[in-house]
Each structure stands twice: as C-alpha cells, then as structure tokens.
C-alpha cells in the first residue's frame, strides 16, 4: 500500500483556509504532480493520506473555539476521502465532557469513519493536560491489508502503549505539531518505535510558526528495521510518499523474532532494587 503524509503549514485557528490548502495538495498528490509529491504519473496513487495533528487549527489551547470546528472538520475529512476514493487520517479537537479531546479519525473511501483515537498523553509542559482530557485506549484498523495504529505527538515519548499493540500493527501513524527545538528527539523516537516494534512508522509533522514556535517538519516514513523509506524537506511543505508492505513486517519478525522474548508479566512487577 502506498501511504502519503502531508507536511503543511497551518493557519492558526483558520479551518476554512486549511481545508482549501489540504484539498489543493491532495489533488496534486493524486494527480502525481511533482510540485507537491515525489509520485510520478506511473506510480500508483496513495491509498492512505495522513494529515498533521490538529491540521485545521494548529495546536491551540483555545479549546472553546477550536473544538467548535469539530463537526465541519469531520465533514471535510469524510468528503475528502469519498471525493478521492482514499482513506484519510486527520487530527482535530472535539468537544467532550469534562474537557475537550485532542483526537484523530480515519475515514474510508465510503466517507464512513472507521477509527477514532484520543491522544493518550496531553503535553503537560504546554499545559495541554489542563485543557484537553487524556484518552484511554489504542484502536487499530485494517486499511487494504495493512493494520494501522495511530498516536498523537507527545504519545511518541512513551513506548509503553506502542508495545502491547505491536503484534497487531503493521504501520504506526504518528501525527504531530512538534517544534523544531526538539526535532532530534522526534526523529530518533520515530526510528526507535519502528525498530523496537518491528513495524513501519510514519511521522507527519507541521512546518511554519505555531503559537510562537517554529516547526521543521521532519516528516518521515521508516521501515521495520528503522531505515528511512522517504522523508520530507525540512522547513518546507511537501509530501512523504512510500510503500508499506505487511509482508515485510512478517518477514522481519520471523527473521529476528525479538518480540517473542518479551516478559510482560515481569515488567509490570519490576521495582527499583539494590544489591
């Protein structure tokens, strides 16, 4: 399956303009125009499009405003999927009680929502935990033979939720608004999650200024051995485009059966010890 991650600048709390930007980019990607994608006209079009975290508004703590755009954002994602006959993953803020949620959804070519995920770890350094509630589960959905599991930004720093779903995952999708001053951690952790779980990882980040912070993008697709399949140009809008093959995941796990040597019953009981 061909997957495309859209690395884009985001207009702050301006969903209509962000929708227009995404639509233009998707049209070029699906047409194989090299100005926005490395896909040639002879390469199959992507079957899964991945947009950054809160792509319609930016990573805003103005929850009363941005969560109010949830319905139109969901409608846009659904229409985008059906118009281009493709699966689409996009992140947004949505109303919830007692706090809104930072979420992402996957919509199928039919326009139906087939996955809904809530960010597990609100970013406390930016006081996201005071504005958004934390999620409690990690869903996976099959997209044309590829088992896809999403995570959102700060979730990347925590290996614990990645590992329990590894055996049922071929591709992790990590969407983000990850600032450039911590870009080394972003790139390193994406490769680490791929290596330790022996799965593909696509990280899709924004570029441009958001909440006073610059973003480098550094969007990338990594294979189950931790090698880079495709990457976007830093600080520029663009597309990460590459093939994800679940047979490669199976091959790597059979050849290097590290996952079977895990001792999960032990890990939960480990405590600091001494001689």
**Distance between CA atoms of 240 and 236, rounded to whole angstroms?**
12
CA angle 10, 11, 15 (to 5 degrees): 100
pLDDT of 90: 98
pTM assigned to the model: 0.96
Q: DSSP code of 216?
A: E
pLDDT of 275: 66
pLDDT of 38: 53
Tell me the domain boundaries of the chain.
2-259
**Distance between CA atoms of 88 and 151, rounded to whole angstroms?**
15
Which residue positions in the chain have pLDDT lower than 70? Answer: 34-42, 274-275
Give me the CATH topology for the region 2-259.
Nitrilase/N-carbamoyl-D-aminoacid amidohydrolase (3.60.110)
**Distance between CA atoms of 89 and 8, rounded to whole angstroms?**
14
List all residues 6 or more positions away from 84 whose beta carbon is below 8 Å from its beta carbon.
26, 30, 49, 109
pLDDT of 227: 98
Query: Do the beta carbons of residue 231 and residue 202 sit within 8 Å?
Result: no
* CA dist list (Å): 140 to 75, 76, 166, 238: 22, 22, 10, 27
pLDDT of 40: 55
pLDDT of 32: 86
């Amino acid at each position: 399956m061909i997957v495309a991650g859209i690395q884009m600048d985001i207009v702050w709390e301006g969903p209509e303009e962000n929708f227009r930007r995404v639509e233009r980019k998707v049209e070029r990607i699906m047409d194989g125009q090299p100005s926005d994608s490395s896909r040639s006209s002879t390469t199959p079009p992507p079957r899964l499009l991945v947009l950054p975290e809160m792509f319609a508004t930016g990573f805003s703590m103005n929850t009363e405003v941005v969560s109010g755009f949830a319905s139109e954002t969901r409608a846009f994602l659904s229409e985008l999927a059906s118009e281009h006959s493709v699966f689409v993953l996009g992140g947004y803020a949505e109303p919830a009680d007692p706090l809104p949620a930072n979420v992402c959804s996957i919509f199928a070519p039919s326009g139906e929502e087939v996955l809904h995920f809530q960010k597990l770890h609100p970013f406390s350094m930016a006081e996201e935990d005071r504005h958004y509630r934390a999620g409690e589960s990690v869903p996976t959905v099959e997209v044309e033979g590829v088992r896809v599991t999403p995570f959102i930004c700060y979730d990347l720093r925590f290996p614990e939720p990645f590992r329990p779903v590894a055996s049922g995952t071929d591709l992790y999708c990590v969407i983000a608004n990850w600032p450039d001053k911590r870009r080394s951690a972003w790139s390193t952790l994406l490769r680490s999650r791929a290596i330790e779980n022996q799965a593909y990882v696509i990280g899709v980040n924004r570029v441009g200024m958001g909440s006073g912070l610059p973003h480098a993008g550094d969007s990338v697709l990594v294979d189950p051995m931790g090698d880079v399949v495709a990457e976007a140009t830093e600080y520029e809008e663009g597309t990460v485009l590459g093939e994800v093959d679940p047979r490669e995941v199976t091959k790597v796990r059979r050849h290097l059966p590290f996952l079977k040597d895990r001792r999960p019953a032990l890990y939960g009981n480990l405590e600091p010890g001494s001689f």
